[in-house]
Structure 1
Amino acid sequence: MELVYVISGLAVGFTVGLTGVGGGSLMTPILLWLGINPATAVGTDLLYAAITKAGGVVVHQRNRNIDWKVTGLLASGSLPAALLTVLALHILKPDVAILNAIITHALGFALLLTASAIIFKKRLMALIQKHAGHWLNLPAAKLGKATVLTGIALGIIVTLSSIGAGALGTLALFLLYPLLPTSRLVGTEIAHAVPLTAIAGLGHAGLGHVDWWTLVSLLTGSLPGIWLGSHLTHHAPDRILRPCLAVMLAMVGGKLIM
């Protein structure tokens, strides 16, 4: 077992537990930096995310923090989108260099979106809460369609980059359901992220884009890291941690795109 992967998993798990964001946003760039090709990095990280977040579903369900109706609407868009994206990769069978270029640019784009979501999340939340009445007047049918369309976008982004199910998913839910309690937003996002990342990850595995030994090493470090970070989250200077994380993600994202 490679110690460097165990340590990487520990560091990312600790960050996720501490800040609530940064799983795929940190893990995939780290895997790239360690020399793993983009396609394999994305596939490995998707299954890593599915396994690490599965435990969160159990906890949030016990606390009744999951809105299964909203989860179902998101999944009705994201899961078919993920399957179709993987199917397109299977059918087209692009050149490895071309595929890596596509994934690298998708990864950079997703990182920039995630960084923006982290930086402006509080401002967006304050703005939406101020004008929440307008959203409450939106017909249920239109709100449902908007949720499904959001799921489609997340399905494509997450399948190509392994990023977005966390920060972008939570922010999207808040934009659509501004009066939903934060605990239910987080629980619903996690419940949606598990099947999405699992399906996308298994699709990449079918393409040979998963390094199973690396996955085991990452999980060995990340599970205790998440536990430790979660217990220290109330003592962390959030106003410092989140901007630093966002700046780092933006720098990596910009470099990947350029």
Structure 2
Amino acid sequence: MELGYIISGLVVGFMVGLTGVGGGSLMTPILIFGFGLSPIRAVGTDLLFAALTKIGGVWSHWHHHTIQWHVVGFLALGSIPSTIITLQVLKNFQHHDQQLTNLINLILGFALILTALALPLKDWLKKAIKANHTSKLVQVVHRLQQNKNFIVITTITIGWILGFIVTMSSIGAGALGSVALLYLYPNLYMNQLAATDIAHAVPLTIIAGIGHWHLGTVDVHVLGNLLLGSLPGVYLGSRFSINLPDRVIQITLSTLLMLIGIKFIL
């Protein structure tokens, strides 16, 4: 059983380092369906697993100067207060958390499928802005992307939403965050988006994970075995992301989101 946890941690850690996605989106279903943990214990354990795993990814991406720290700050302005409030709600309704988690997982399944379908539109949107300045839709999108106030407010709002979803389900810090950043900051490279998303996910998942620890929903034994595999996995994944073309990372991310979304719905 311990070897299974270690291998699972290695695979998920690699995907986190490569795309910024995969912590909760992959590990929570693995813990529930593969190892039989209850949903609430899977969520709590995975939050601390994601936090400690992504610390290694932050170090590697920081070394390559791919983290956009101002974006991380805007996201944290929304996500940290949201996480604290959500933890208090969980504490007050702790005996009903399974129903809430199931509902969020279902909604997130549809959201992941939609984001997977939306990812390939990135290149089309860039080309449309350059080739068709008369299109009202393209002009609106372009103006919004150039409006600094809109970008800041939207980034903070996205952080708030992520704080709620991640605390309740341990899912979304990488998947939804990376897609939102993709459209808000179209001039960033995919490896910069992944690095920035990972850097924001660390304080978010640490706070949420500590909150779940106090609720008694973290399995320390499972967490330790997962980390044995994930720490080298996330380092290897982040190294590969530096060398892979943007299109390869984009296709990988889109496919991953689609598969995860279908899994949650089914």
Distance 1:229 1:58, change over 3 A: closer
Residue identity opposite 1:4 in structure 2: G
C-alpha RMSD of matched pairs (Å): 2.6
**AA paired with 1:192?**
H
5+ long unaligned stretches in structure 1? none
| CA 93–238 in structure 1, closer or farther in 2 if over 3 Å, else same | closer
Aligned to 1:126: 124
Post-superposition Cα deviations, 1:170-202, rounded to whole Å, max 9, x if no partner, equal: 111122222233333222211111000110111
Query: Size of the alignment, in residue pairs?
Result: 251
Q: Report the counterpart of residue 212 of structure 1 in structure 2.
A: 220
Structure 2: runs of 5 or more not aligned: 130-137
The answer on whether the counterparts of 2:116 and 2:257 sit within 8 Å (CA) in structure 1 is: yes
1:163-174 matches, within 5 Å, as 163-174=171-182
SS at match of 1:209: coil
1:228: Cα distance to partner? Answer: 4.6
In structure 1, what is the equivalent of residue 21 of structure 2? 21
Number of the residue aligned with 1:192: 200
Question: Residues of 1 paired with 2:186 and 2:19: CA distance?
Answer: 21
C-alpha spacing 1:82/1:238, structure 2 compared with 1 (3 Å): closer
In structure 2, what residue type is equivalent to 1:134? R
Distance 1:94 1:49, change over 3 A: closer
User: SS of the counterpart of 1:164?
Assistant: coil
Aligned residue number for residue 231 of structure 2 = 223
The answer to whether the Cα contact below 8 Å between 1:78 and 1:155 also exists between their aligned partners in 2 is yes
1:246–1:75 distance in 2 versus 1, CA, 3 Å: closer
Counterparts of residues 239-258 of structure 1 (less than 5 Å): 245-255=256-266
Secondary structure of the residue aligned to 2:120 is: helix
Call closer, same or farther: CA 1:125–1:158 in 2, change over 3 Å: farther
1:32 aligns with: 32
Displacement of 1:104: 2.0
What's the CA shift string for 1:87-114, capped at 9, x where partnerless? 1111x2342xx21111122123223323
- Quickly say closer, same or farther: Cα 1:144–1:105, change in 2 above 3 A: same
Give the C-alpha shift of residue 116 in structure 1: 3.0
Relative distance call for 1:222 and 1:208 in structure 2 (3 A) is: same
TM (norm. structure 2) is 0.83
Deviation (angstroms), 1:161: 1.0
Percentage identity across aligned positions?
44
In structure 2, C-alpha distance between the alignment counterparts of 1:241 and 1:29, rounded to whole Å: 19
Q: Structure 1 length normalisation: TM-score? A: 0.85
Aligned to 1:102: 100
CA contact (8 A) 1:110 1:161 kept: no
Write out aligned runs for 1:109-120 (5 A): 109-120=107-118
2:6 aligns to what?
6
Q: Is the 8 A contact 1:9 1:222 kept in 2?
A: yes
Kept after mapping to 1: 8 A contact 2:31/2:42 = yes
Listed as ranges, the matches of 1:50-61 within 5 Å are 50-61=51-62
- Deviation, 1:79, is 0.4
Distance in 1 between residues matched to 2:224 and 2:114, nearest whole Å: 31
2:256 maps to a residue whose letter is L
